[in-house]
Amino acid sequence: MMKDIATPIRTQEIMAKHGLTVKKSLGQNFLIDPNILRKIVSQANLTKQSAAIEIGPGIGALTEHLARAAGKVLAFEIDQRLLPVLDDTLSPYDNVSIIHSDILKADVADAIAKELEGYEDIMVVANLPYYVTTPIIMKLLLEKLPIRGLVVMLQKEVAERITAKPGTKAYGSLSIAIQYYTEAEMALTVPKGVFMPQPNVDSAVIKMTKRPTPQVEVIDEDFFFKVTRGSFVQRRKTIFNNLQAAMPDGKEKKDLILKALEEAGIDPTRRGETLSIKEFGGLADKLYGYFG
């Protein structure tokens, strides 16, 4: 059995061998606890009939565990310096493909078609760079990729926002956007001490399972998201006040906003954080009739 990459000693050896330093600008923190990695991978329920997509494999700590569990691993790495390192650390595994690319610019659907042909069950499993967590998750959901879901590690605070329920402080347009497409649950919290270097914040792993169809059916998705984002711009304001700022000529067309709220059965004095996704769906459709 190979020695795990994710131990403090092995990580230091690999970094010394390749003359590596951590790039803060890319949000690099290397995991040095194999137990945490096993827990992350177990959340994805992979078999040899599954494929895994990883973002930012770093020096291969998580990639190695994915390669052991899945039939094929496709990883996107933005940092050119890490390509030869991954070649070296992952040399025992012949089921890993690394694409040198920024995931936000990559044609992921095309990469899946080429690299993961024949795999019906595909999961994204990644320790995401903190500074671009949300754009990455939203890209993967909006592109309607053939994936079963995502198991990702991110900042604990962002994880709390993604999994938040209506009526809580953490609930907002991000909770709605992700829960619209997926069932999101907190899988585990991860202390700072399992990373090298240690980040300033605690992390958490969330599991997002894609829904067969979005949680609510709306006339226009873009408009729905516009309404949900607009409803949280100033959290202390009522939904009525926030929508006046969010809708085109909303101030002049207050009566139409009130009308839509009334038709959707929503009290205009409520705040955005009290509305469920279904309520937002109904409201967006009523507003679309006037502002779409």
- The answer for residues whose C-beta is within 8 angstroms of residue 217's C-beta and 6 or more apart is 281
265 Ramachandran zone, left/alpha/beta (phi>0; psi -120 to 50):
left
Residue of 44, 58, 209 lying closest to 129 (CA atoms): 58
29 is in an annotated binding site: yes
Is the Cβ–Cβ distance between 214 and 234 less than 8 Å?
no
Does 56 carry a binding-site annotation?
A: yes
Residue 292 labeled ligand binder: no
Measured distance CA(134)–CA(286) in Å, rounded: 28
Q: Where are the alpha helices (DSSP H) in 116-253?
A: 133-142, 156-162, 173-181, 221-230, 239-246
Q: Which residues pair with 126 in a beta bridge?
A: 152
Cα separations (Å) of 47 from 76, 123, 280? 21, 11, 38
CB neighbours of residue 257 within 10 Å: 25
Taking the CA of residue 141 as centre, how many other CA atoms within 13 Å lie in the half-sphere pointing to its CB? 27
Exposure string for 142-178, b = 16+ CB within 10 A, e = fewer: eeebebbbbbbbbbbebbbbbbbebeeebbbbbbbbb
Q: Rounded distance, CA 90 to CA 8, Å? A: 17
Q: Are strands 30-31 and 195-196 parallel, antiparallel or unpaired?
A: antiparallel
Does the annotation flag 149 for ligand binding? no
Q: Is 267 exposed, middle or buried (0-12, 13-18, 19+ CB in 10 A)?
A: exposed
Q: Annotated binding residue at 77?
A: yes
Q: Which residues are annotated as a binding site?
A: 29, 31, 56, 77, 102, 127
Q: Which residues are annotated as a binding site for S-adenosyl-L-methionine?
A: 29, 31, 56, 77, 102, 127
